[in-house]
Every structure is written in structure tokens, then in C-alpha cells.
Amino acid sequence: MAIRELAELTWEEVRDLDRARTVALLPVGALEAHGPHLPLGTDNLIAVAMARAAAARLAAHGTNAVILPALAYSAAPFGAAFAGTLSATAATIAALIADLAVEVARHDFAALAIANAHLDPAHLKSLADAQRLAAARGATRFICPDLTRREHAARLGEEFRSGACHAGRYEGSVVLATRPDLVRSAIARSLPPVPVSLSQAIRDGRTTFAEAGGARAYFGTPAEATAEEGARTIEVLGEILSEAVLATLAPGPAS
């Protein structure tokens, strides 16, 4: 079955969907500095790829999905000092995503599932707040796997597990697999590794890329990125999201 993009359907086509058996997938990224070699929209590219891979896996399991237009803005204070980063407040993002969850529920879709590729702590808090706000308004089918959780991180490669994974091998590989024309490959090959764990820096109280040791807004090993690794990573991201959806939609034990 072809992957459906909600924005490309007519209202009558949406009306005729079996919405009670269809999940709405929302890719969520950021417009944020990703080193001198990757585009500001890197997280959006990853989120869309994750959503598309999840939709394909869900279809294979008999569950329909539609992909919403990507939310390209988010709370991004870690990169705010770098030119081009557009950071919204966490409260704004939480309110917007909660509104979308309520609308998805109003249209009787089975759930709203977030394909999130942006890991700034402020943004992760906005997602948690959005889930709480949506639930308070009756939209309880809100699915958002946190990639930073150990069980998910363990599946996403050594660099991701290390925490040194902003605009490095992990993200660079996905962009090479999706939009290689946007990678400044000569620059990427010239960049030295920055083996600094952002997750540890956050625990240590750092609040910006520069404070964490990323003077050029990248961490990890950009020169090691490959399209082949990116394709594998996209499949894993799709697995993580589709598994979360299927677990949520699975019927509970008979009473």
C-alpha cells in the first residue's frame, strides 16, 4: 500500500478512510545548527524518514497510517546562538502538539504517533507536556517513544549510545541516505572528531552546544558517516516507532 500523506488527500478521501484503524504520524524536527556540513533542517529529514519507515512497517502488520506535514520548529536553546537556528518556547510547542493530538482524536484516528528526531532537553520536555495536556482534554492515544531511553539507544549504534551524536556519524549517515545533495561532503571529511557526550554535558549543567564543547555545533565523527549506515538507521527508527504504535493499539486482555 502506498504511503499516504495527509496534506495530499482531499477531505472526501480522508472522510472515507477507516480512521478508527488508521494512525496519524507526525514527524517532529527542528531548524537548528548541525555543524558546518549538514543543513539546518537535518532533524526534519530524519523525522520524515522515520515516519515513512514506520508507515511501511505498520502497513506490513495490517495497520494503516497517514503522515502529517512535519513540524519543523521546536524548542532548540542548545543551538540558539548559531546563525539560522529558530527556537520556539517549549510551552508553545507543547500547546501546538497537544492541539494536534486533540484534532486527530476529534477526527477519530486511532492515535497520534510522534516521529521525533530532536533531542534538546527543552524539546523533550515539551513533548511530555504535550502528552499530559492532550490527555487532560481526552486525547489519550498519544505515542512518542523517547529515543534517549536505554532500550532504544542500544539499537541506534555506538555513537548514539555514547551521547556524542549531534551532526556526527549517526545524523550524517541518515542525511546521506535521504538527501546526499545537502551534505557538504568535503567539509564533513575534514572535520576532526568531537567525542563529547551531550547527555553527560546536560547532566553536568551545560545548556548550549558551545558550553558542551561543540564550538561548530557538531559532536561525534562526521567523517565516518555513510549512506549504508543511514539506511539501516532509518529502518531501526521505523521499527521503534511502529513497535510503540502496535503495542499501544494491541487489544488488552479480555475482562
- Which cell numbers hold the place of 68? 502529517
Percent of the chain predicted with pLDDT > 90: 96
4-249 classified as CATH 3.40.50.10310: yes
- Work out the burial of residue 20: count CB atoms within 10 Å of its CB; fewer than 13 is exposed, 13-18 middle, 19 or more buried: exposed
Render pLDDT for 219-252 as a digit per residue (tens, 0 to 9).
999 999 999 999 999 999 999 999 999 999 987 6
- Alpha-carbon radius of gyration of the chain: 18
Q: Which of 48, 146, 65, 138 is nearest to 99 (CA)?
A: 138
Where are the domains positioned within the chain?
A: 4-249
pLDDT tier, 2 (very low <50, low <70, confident <90, very high otherwise): low
